[in-house]
Amino acid sequence: MLQSKAFMKKTRRGQVVKVVREHYLRDDISCGAIFCQSCEKESACLSSSAPNILIVDTNVTLHHIDLLENNAIDDVVILSVVLEEVKNRNLSVYNRIRALCSNPMRRFFVFANEHHKDTFVKTMPGESPNDRNDRAIRSASLWYQKHLGQGPPILLLTNDIENKRKALQEGICTETVQSYVESLGRPELFDLVAQVCDSSLAEMDIEDSRPSKKKLIYPEHRPMSEITSGLQQRIFHQGKLRVNRYNPIEAYVNSESIDEEIIIYGRINMNRAFEGDVVAVELLPEDQWKEGNTLKLIEDEEDEVEEKVGLAPDSVDAAPTSLQAKPGDFGSKIGSRTCGRVVGIIKRNWHSYCGSLEPMPMPAGVGGAVNALFVASDRRIPKIRIQTRQLGNLLDKRILVAVDSWDISLRYPLGHYVKTIGDIGDRATESEVLMIENDINNRPFSEQVLACLPPLPWSVSQDDLKCNYREDIRHIRVFSVDPPGMYQIREANQMIEEFMLAANISVAEKILKHYPLCALLRRHPIPTPKMLEPLIRTAAAVGVKLDITSSKSLADSLDNALGNNDPYFNKLIRILATRCMTQAVYFSSGELTPPEYYHYGLAAALYTHFTSPIRRYADVIVHRLLAAALGLFKLPAVFHDKVQLNSLADNLNFRHRNAQMASRASVELHTLIYFRNRPTDAEARIVKIRSNGFIVFVPKFGIEGPVYLTPKAKDNNGEESCKNSADWIVDEEQQRISTRDGKRVYMVLDVVHVHIEVIEPQPNRSKLVLTLLK
Amino acid sequence: MEDVSSRGLHFQLSDSQRNRLRKSRELLREAPGNYHPSAFVNIADPIHVENEATVLKGHGTQVLDGQLLATLSGVVERVDQLVTVKPLRCRYNAETGDVVVGRITEVGTKRWKVDINFRQDVHLMLSAVNLPGGIQRRRTVIDELNMRSLFEENDLISAEVQSVHSDGSVHLHTRSLKYGKLTNGQLVKVPPYLVKRLKQHFHNLKSCAVDMIIGCNGYIWICAAVDSLPSNPEIEKITGDSGAPEMDSCNESISLKVRENICRLANSIRVLSALGFLIYPDTIIDTFDASISKGVAIKDMLGAEFLVMIAEREASRRTKNNYML
Amino acid sequence: MALEFISPEGLRLDGRRPAEIRQLRANLGVIDKADGSATFEMGNTKVIAAVYGPHEVQNRSQQLLDQALVKCEYSMANFSTGDRRRKQKGDRRSVEISLVIRQSMEAAIMTHLLPRTQIDIFVHVLQADGGTRSACINAASLALADAGIPMRDIVASCASGYLNNTPLLDLNYLEDSGGGPDVTIALLPKLDKITLLQMDAKLPLEMFEKVFELGNKGCVAIANYMRNVLLENTKDLAFARGVVKV
């Protein structure tokens, strides 16, 4: 049964290392067809009634995953060589195709062609890995054709012309995705077909339609070999591209090979990289580095740099980058910042994005394919060009779009429509968008999950009473201090909080004592002096001295920070203080040293979440640990698997953060809806001075945003804007901004009155605007 | 071509040679008179006996939970009630009366230590050696001091196993004229299991003027025949009254013909050993004669062609003659 | 994302199923000078073992009056791994593995039959791809049998592990470095006795039992293969020599 074929692989890990791995070929791999006479049928799913049994190649899987996910496509064989390639190139597509294959409702079968003795192909001398994989796909298709001679015909779907030609030569039925979808006669599937960049499409790009103007907009990406050697020689730096949420043409790359954060300005320098892509960056010559504050856009872009009015941030993590103190922030003495440009993309982070189409007139004629520009609601994502045959249906909808490719000659990437979420502006639709954007799964629980629950209606059974780890406390009078409408009972509430903290802390102590290496705890990192610097600066400006040596001393000095007959002053300082801190995170105790377990916010040496297992998954985990510590249950296996436990903690943090982001975004959405038809005046406090205005916080609504003292430069001619901004003098030390003549002075924490209203500068992108009331 | 390493010799076999070798091996497998398949046992295999309590448990067996098990991989041999497992490859297992060839490793007080491929070095007591001046002579302190003049370290001797003790130690003796120091020849080592125990282990091959001692321990000594030497001083001098055995320390000059014969015999033995065939005078001389009749040069005897030829010869001989020893 | 060691189809990275061992190959009598010798291959792991003895004890002071002295030396060829690095002889790992092999062999050799003698076991890793410890024990066991040293039973060894919530048999290097536990078992299969049990990670008891059970089965399978090799070797030798009746 075992056949062995050793093959050589070369990997680069600093040096060339020869890797020899065994590769066993088997004769017991099932073909997955229900009607097959010879193969084992346990996992078989391909039905004999299918019109075709489809085999897809790697690129089809990568680019047409949305099509494959559609119910119209079934009876598909996914080859393991395809899966492997997809996994290396795009993990999210890999997860989606895996989900398809394991879905019992769909008929997708994974055929391990690489380990089947008849379908394995050896790399021929001089053959590229791509060619070899294509050959493997053809060899498997041919095998299927022979093996399932009686069943439905095998159809290989490939868009690769060369592969298609060879397949036809070898006698394999093959079609392109486009022609296959056409043959199905289901027009709604057309939009799901990915856009592949070829010359004909490039000409469709309106901006480049005239041949004379057809030009390459972006520089070519460097070949991978050059990037690898460049990374080794430290000419290039590798890191994840993070686009500034508030200024989408500015991005940062943190690379291990360089201490500083590399800033990338402008779309040309970003060179088609998306948020989250792993990129290789080359540093620009130092004379092209930008002064931190005098930065102006170097390109004529329609995207504007602006700060948004939104919910007040409650921690560093939630604050926009531009609000954070950074070296090079305005007034700072540090000069220019390291600038770079992207020379290659090592790993794409493409997935589908929520948004809407840019309004455009309906073209003449019906049913034809039209090009439309898609604007993602996440501002970090560039516009995406898609082709659709249902423009009329989509114009006023929130839709999901996936990216397919981005050619150097195209200003925007190409993508395709995935699905419609709902009408723009509709509360449910917009909420759904928030969910999708923050990767929150709001699908109903699966049947397997529900099967874990006892059937309803539930009552205490004899078994429950006999259970040795449960106690009957029904005879004790229990009441809730937190019923609806009872939140006025302040003290009771406070009491509950103290009980809760005490419970959490004692549980943390107990589980750590029993499981010093795998207790799930929650820590709050001690803020560094640098993080607290903006707070101290602001406090100093208003004459308050803060002691940040410990959390207790900070709490004490915050208690003492009382403004002169300003009841709100203390609260404001506290709000600013929390903003300087990072969020608390879950972690496994084996990963850190005991001093790092500290929870700064609660001033507790140990802390965890235990009290709400019905709301938080972390509490469920802690409950299991506690149950094991008390000897009631066995410790689940996950706690012994360090890697799995860490990924669990990471996921908890990721989900927690996403939930918070979504919650904030939801409040912002509802704030927007609230103000849409009722412009309001309100009292606000200045929390930060900027070069052309200040940031205010509106306590009544909990919102925060910029107030511009000078009209935006964009609205005036350049000269005027210079003059205007020169009228205002910023005093960094005192945190104040004043007119040259000193008639008007604004200081940090001053009270101002602002007007709140909703405007819609671009269609479908309404936003809140704060203006100062004189 | 393929490299084949066969117990002591390395060959390059062509395809046809390999096929011939394989074929003759198959013939040998099917040759009549072979072991019955049930005779083979592996470590920890049960050995079938009628009544475990009545049989005598010999070497290579153990009793576990009333069951007789093998402790070696080999063949079961039964002699009356005695059941033993004989391993095919192992060190020499000394038995009283065996003629052995050995090498002195150490000269101690009143004894020599001798390597005879046994699991320990064995003893040759001064009292078990013939001394000049008669067999029954008292061993004096002078004799003890002069032990090195009899046998030095690295000297080769022939001897007989005098006794095997229960603690595993073995004693030799050379109290016969035929035993003693070996000179004027060549030592060939073969696995002891290939040596057939015979009545006679000293062989005088008159036709080639060569003497051969096939030690039961797998050490085979081939030397110029004593009577072929120009003078024949050895035996007289050891037994003689002069008491000066220094003539042993130097080799006599031997004629080219005899030296060639010694080498040819040695190579014959090496070929047989490489093929795993039994080694006794008949097979040695047969191989020797075959090499001469085929006109194979001495150096070519260790080549692939001769090896394959000998294998085929042995195979056909055993299958035709209903070979049984 | 953690590496996927077993695909949802139930195949490991090299195409084996969880409870399958790699291809085994063994050769006896590969070193002429030695009393017994063997090479043993488990997939790409290849080791050679040589046994000298029983012979006179070299260091008289170490001589044991009631049993044989067993010595073992484990070493790794510089070229045995992908990166050629000169390896220090006698580093901690080698000393530990030497000890492990010696102890599991001593449990099988009937040392009381060979008093005042010494048995030297040399094992050398020619190519390393996980499970070297097991391969060394198997090779040493075969070499001892080849040398005709009386043993209670053959020692067969196999490693098993636990990755992606599945017990895996006979881990290769890639799986070995997957961070999961690695349980090495050496077994006297006919006597059903364990002579070695090593694990370098924590594993809950019920998991461990599954992994251990699997490792045990692996040992039995390997032992069967080894017995077969030994028997064939015995037959080859016997048939070449012919029957000897004294």
In this complex, do A6 and C83 lie within 8 Å of one another by their Cβ atoms?
Answer: no
Rounded-to-integer distance, Cα A157 and Cα A137, Å: 10
Report how far Cα A151 is from the mean position of its chain's Cα atoms: 44
Q: Which two tokens stand for residue C44?
A: 């790409």
Mutate one of B6, B24, B73 to test the C interface: name it (highest C CB count within 10 A).
B73
Across C9-32, average pLDDT: 91
pLDDT above 70: residue A59: yes
In this complex, do A23 and C9 lie within 8 Å of one another by their Cβ atoms?
Answer: no
Please list every residue in chain C whose beta carbon sits closer than 8 Å to the beta carbon of residue B44: 151-154, 188-191
pLDDT above 60: residue A714: no
Classify residue B197 as exposed, middle or buried by CB count within 10 Å of its CB (0-12, 13-18, 19+). Answer: middle
Which amino acid, one-letter code, is at A492? A
Chain C closest-CA separation from residue A324 CA (Å): 31
pLDDT above 60: residue B243: no
Q: By the 8 A CB rule, do B1 and B12 touch?
A: yes
Across A687-710, average pLDDT: 81
pLDDT bracket for residue A488 (50, 70, 90): low
Q: By the 8 A CB rule, do A53 and A151 touch?
A: yes
B111 and B255 inside one domain:
yes
Across A250-268, average pLDDT: 83
Q: By the 8 A CB rule, do A75 and A53 touch?
A: yes
Each domain of chain A, given as residue ranges in start order, spans 23-190, 199-217+350-437, 234-347, 485-660, 677-772
Dihedral, CA of residue C50, residue C55, residue C60 and residue C62, to nearest 10: 50
Rounded-to-integer distance, Cα B279 and Cα C242, Å: 11
Chain A closest-CA separation from residue C59 CA (Å): 42
The pLDDT, as a whole number, for residue A330 is 39
Of 3.40.50.1010, 3.30.70.420, 3.40.980.10, 3.60.110.10, the CATH number of A23-190 is 3.40.50.1010
The pLDDT, as a whole number, for residue B237 is 40
Domain that holds residue B122: 99-259
Radius of gyration of chain B (CA): 22
In this complex, do C230 and B31 lie within 8 Å of one another by their Cβ atoms?
Answer: no
Across A354-368, average pLDDT: 75
Please list every residue in chain A whose beta carbon sits closer than 8 Å to the beta carbon of residue C22: 2, 4, 22
More confident residue, C142 or A446: C142
Which range of A540-549, B253-262, C199-208 scores highest in mean pLDDT? It is: B253-262
Does residue C17 form part of some domain?
A: no
Least confident window among A3-12, A369-378, B147-156 = A3-12
pTM: 0.71
The pLDDT, as a whole number, for residue B291 is 93
C141 to chain B: closest CA residue: B43
3-state DSSP assignment of residue A677: coil
A199-217+350-437 adopts what CATH topology?
A: OB fold (Dihydrolipoamide Acetyltransferase, E2P) (2.40.50)
Q: Half-sphere exposure of residue B31, counting CA atoms within 13 Å on the CB side?
A: 32
A92 to chain C: closest CA residue: C1
Nearest to A544 by CA among A577, A516, A514, A521: A577
Long-range pairs of B252-260 with CB within 8 A, sequence gap ≥ 24: B252/B183, B252/B184, B252/B224, B254/B184, B254/B224, B254/B229, B257/B209, B258/B208, B258/B209, B258/B210, B258/B224, B258/B225, B258/B228, B259/B224, B260/B298
Rounded-to-integer distance, Cα A436 and Cα C20, Å: 43
| B75 in C contact zone (CB under 8 Å) | yes
B45 and B167 inside one domain:
no
Does residue C9 form part of some domain?
A: no
In this complex, do C129 and A15 lie within 8 Å of one another by their Cβ atoms?
Answer: no
Does residue B18 form part of some domain?
A: no
B11-66 pLDDT, tens digit each: 788 888 889 988 988 888 887 777 888 889 999 999 988 887 888 988 899 998 88
Which of B259, B278, B295 delimits the end of a domain? Answer: B259
| Torsional sign, CA A339, A340, A346, A349 | positive
Please list every residue in chain C whose beta carbon sits closer than 8 Å to the beta carbon of residue A114: 15
Chain C closest-CA separation from residue A228 CA (Å): 20
Rounded-to-integer distance, Cα C85 and Cα C74, Å: 17
B117 and B249 inside one domain:
yes
More confident residue, C221 or A616: C221
The pLDDT, as a whole number, for residue C148 is 93
Rounded-to-integer distance, Cα A622 and Cα A506, Å: 12
Please list every residue in chain C whose beta carbon sits closer than 8 Å to the beta carbon of residue A19: 82
The pLDDT, as a whole number, for residue A623 is 93
Give chain C's domain count: 1
B55 and B149 inside one domain:
no
Please list every residue in chain C whose beta carbon sits closer than 8 Å to the beta carbon of residue B64: 191
Please list every residue in chain A whose beta carbon sits closer than 8 Å to the beta carbon of residue C207: 637, 640
Across A52-67, average pLDDT: 88
The pLDDT, as a whole number, for residue A328 is 36
Among candidates B29, B44, B168 on the partner chain, residue whose Cβ is nearest the Cβ of C115: B168
pLDDT above 70: residue A112: yes
In DSSP terms, A356 is beta-bridged to A375
- CATH number for the domain spanning C220: value is 3.30.230.70
End-to-end CA distance of chain A: 87
Please list every residue in chain C whose beta carbon sits closer than 8 Å to the beta carbon of residue B31: 239, 242
Least confident window among A328-342, A551-565, B215-229 = A328-342
Q: By the 8 A CB rule, do A279 and A239 touch?
A: yes
C72-98 pLDDT, tens digit each: 999 999 888 877 766 666 788 899 999
pLDDT bracket for residue A351 (50, 70, 90): confident
B119 and B242 inside one domain:
yes
pLDDT bracket for residue A8 (50, 70, 90): low
How many beta carbons lie within 10 A of that of residue C179, not counting itself? 16
Average pLDDT of the residues of chain A = 79
Does residue C18 form part of some domain?
A: no
**For chain A, percent of residues with pLDDT exceeding 90:** 10
A464-480 pLDDT, tens digit each: 888 877 888 888 887 76
Q: Which two tokens stand for residue A200?
A: 């004909």
3-state DSSP assignment of residue A695: strand
Chain C closest-CA separation from residue A78 CA (Å): 12
Chains A, B in contact, 3 or more Cβ pairs below 8 Å: no
Nearest to C144 by CA among C181, C175, C102, C82: C102
Q: Do the strands B156-164 and B180-181 form a parallel or antiparallel pair, or are they unpaired? A: antiparallel
Chain C closest-CA separation from residue A23 CA (Å): 5
How many beta carbons lie within 10 A of that of residue B318, not counting itself? 23
| Torsional sign, CA A733, A737, A742, A743 | negative
- In B21-60, the residues whose Cβ lies within 8 Å of chain C are 25, 28-29, 31, 33-35, 40, 42-44, 59-60
The pLDDT, as a whole number, for residue A37 is 82
Neighbours of chain B (3+ CB pairs under 8 A): C
| Torsional sign, CA A207, A213, A217, A222 | positive
Angle of the A80-89 helix axis to the A129-147 helix axis, nearest 10 = 150
Which amino acid, one-letter code, is at A366? V
Angle of the A551-560 helix axis to the A569-579 helix axis, nearest 10 = 150
Concatenating the DSSP letter of every residue in B223-254 gives: EE-GGGSSS--HHHHHHSSS--GGGGGSPPP-
Among candidates A22, A115, A635 on the partner chain, residue whose Cβ is nearest the Cβ of C44: A22
Residue B147: what are its φ and ψ, rounded to 5°? -55, -40
DSSP run (H or E) holding A725? helix A718-726
| B321 in C contact zone (CB under 8 Å) | no
The pLDDT, as a whole number, for residue A129 is 86
- Which CATH number describes the domain made up of A677-772? 2.40.50.140
In this complex, do B62 and C110 lie within 8 Å of one another by their Cβ atoms?
Answer: yes
Report how far Cα B277 is from the mean position of its chain's Cα atoms: 13
- CATH number for the domain spanning B64: value is 2.40.50.100
Neighbours of chain C (3+ CB pairs under 8 A): A, B
| B8 in C contact zone (CB under 8 Å) | yes
How many beta carbons lie within 10 A of that of residue A38, not counting itself? 8
Rounded-to-integer distance, Cα A358 and Cα A360, Å: 6
Give chain B's domain count: 2
Classify residue A369 as exposed, middle or buried by CB count within 10 Å of its CB (0-12, 13-18, 19+). Answer: middle
Does residue C41 form part of some domain?
A: yes
Domain that holds residue C28: 24-241
Chain B closest-CA separation from residue C57 CA (Å): 8
Please list every residue in chain C whose beta carbon sits closer than 8 Å to the beta carbon of residue A112: 7, 9, 11, 15
Average pLDDT of the residues of chain C = 90
Q: Which two tokens stand for residue C107?
A: 């449990």
Task: Return the exposure string of A613-630: e unless at least 16 CB atoms fall within 10 Å of the residue's CB, then b.
Answer: eeebebbbbbbbbbbbbe
Q: By the 8 A CB rule, do C37 and C46 touch?
A: no
pLDDT above 70: residue C2: no
- Do the domains at A23-190 and A199-217+350-437 have one common CATH topology? no
pLDDT bracket for residue A7 (50, 70, 90): low
A234-347, which class in CATH? mainly beta
Please list every residue in chain C whose beta carbon sits closer than 8 Å to the beta carbon of residue B119: 53-55, 114, 117
pLDDT above 50: residue B325: no
B166 and B114 inside one domain:
yes
Does residue C16 form part of some domain?
A: no
Please list every residue in chain B whose beta carbon sits closer than 8 Å to the beta carbon of residue C146: 89
pLDDT above 60: residue A331: no
Task: Return the exposure string of A65-85: e unless at least 16 CB atoms fall within 10 Å of the residue's CB, then b.
Answer: bbbbbbeebbbbbbbbbbbeb
Phi-psi category of A261—alpha, beta or left, where left has phi over 0 and alpha has psi -120 to 50?
beta
pLDDT above 50: residue A295: no
The pLDDT, as a whole number, for residue B241 is 37
Which range of A165-179, A428-442, A718-732, B308-322 scores highest in mean pLDDT? It is: A165-179
A17 to chain C: closest CA residue: C82
Chain B closest-CA separation from residue C139 CA (Å): 15
The pLDDT, as a whole number, for residue A349 is 82
ipTM of this predicted complex?
A: 0.89
In this complex, do A640 and C23 lie within 8 Å of one another by their Cβ atoms?
Answer: no
Neighbours of chain A (3+ CB pairs under 8 A): C
Does residue B179 form part of some domain?
A: yes
More confident residue, A443 or A223: A223
- CATH number for the domain spanning B236: value is 2.40.50.140
DSSP run (H or E) holding A644? helix A642-676
Q: Do the strands A414-423 and A384-388 form a parallel or antiparallel pair, or are they unpaired? A: parallel
